[in-house]
Structure 1
Amino acid sequence: MIKAVMVMNTQGKPRLAKFFEYLPLEKQHELIRSVFGVLCSRPENVSNFVEAESVFGPDSRLVYKHFATLYFIFVFDSSENELAMLDLIQVLVETLDRCFKNVCELDIVFNYSKIHTILDEIIFGGQVLETRSTEIMRAVEEISKLEAASNAITLVPKSASGWLSR
């Protein structure tokens, strides 16, 4: 099971943090700081796989990938394959690149709800749902269309809707 997904910049500021197990907010902040402490102390030429038992408890592993100014991090237990998790990071980044045309930190900051929608299409409740970027994008586009239609309906003033029903 995937325990958490995080995206943070090279200064340690979290840009996305989604935990799939309930943790109090203070504990989440502590874990994010601990993860950054582990990542920034690692040399560039070492593996992207880290035993995370000291941070997340027994049977916890962490895999990360560094793109430009961002770290993409998945925390998971032994029921998940480390290489599959590394590939899932790649799927997430490719999908974000398709959505934002070469994703950057500001895209994540200013499109928070869309990022969560994409992540929810990939992972739900700690389980992987979809790994094909094209299918993820198709679902996100459908959700965007439904949201736009819903917003258009709510923008009709009450007086106009009464007039239309006559």
Structure 2
Amino acid sequence: MIHAVIIFNTSGVPRLTKFYTPIHRSSQALVRRIYSLISTRTGGLCNFLDAPELEDFLGQKDEGEKLRVVYRSYATLHFVFVVDSAESELGILDLIQACY
């Protein structure tokens, strides 16, 4: 399941935020946390990122479902999807590429 779609620039300013599950904290705090996770990664690393710290924001109830951040950077924008284990990471990357 896709929990959130976020697009932000390289400065961390959100350009689009869409949440498909209720969030338990501020959406701005969630965007800042995701930006801090992505901006510290080097270019040669994988575009999939396990993010158990986001469970506090989205309130995951199932122990088996782990949240994962799938992102892709194009020019000055970062396209980010927050998904659970039911989604294919490669399918999400293909969706990002098809939309861009």
- Please give the range of the TM-score, normalised by the shorter of the 2 chains: 0.7 to 0.9
| Equivalent pair of 1:31/1:56 in contact (CA under 8 Å) | no
Q: Which residue of 1 aligns with 2:63?
A: none
Residues 60-75 of structure 1: matches in 2 within 5 Å? 60-75=67-82
The alignment yields a C-alpha RMSD, in angstroms, of 1.4
Unaligned runs of 5+ in 2: 61-65
Residues 57-96 of structure 1: matches in 2 within 5 Å? 59-93=66-100
Aligned-partner SS, 2:99: helix
TM-score of the superposed pair, with normalisation by structure 1? 0.53
- Give the drift of 1:2: 0.1
| Equivalent pair of 1:7/1:14 in contact (CA under 8 Å) | yes
Identity over aligned residues, as a percent?
A: 40
Q: Which letter maps to 2:23? A: L
Q: How many residues are paired up?
A: 92
- Give the drift of 1:56: 3.4
Q: Which residue of 2 aligns with 1:10?
A: 10
Q: Greater helix percent: which structure?
A: 1
| Equivalent pair of 1:50/1:61 in contact (CA under 8 Å) | yes
Residues 79-158 of structure 1: matches in 2 within 5 Å? 79-93=86-100
The answer to which structure, 1 or 2, has the higher relative contact order (CA under 8 A, 6+ apart) is 2
TM-score of the superposed pair, with normalisation by structure 2? 0.86
In structure 1, C-alpha distance between the alignment counterparts of 2:55 and 2:26, rounded to whole Å: 10
Aligned-partner SS, 2:42: coil
1:35 to 2:42 alignment: no
- Give the drift of 1:23: 2.0
Q: Which letter maps to 1:61? A: R
Q: Which residue of 1 aligns with 2:43?
A: 44
Higher-Rg structure is: 1
Q: Which residue of 2 aligns with 1:146?
A: none
Q: Greater strand percent: which structure?
A: 2
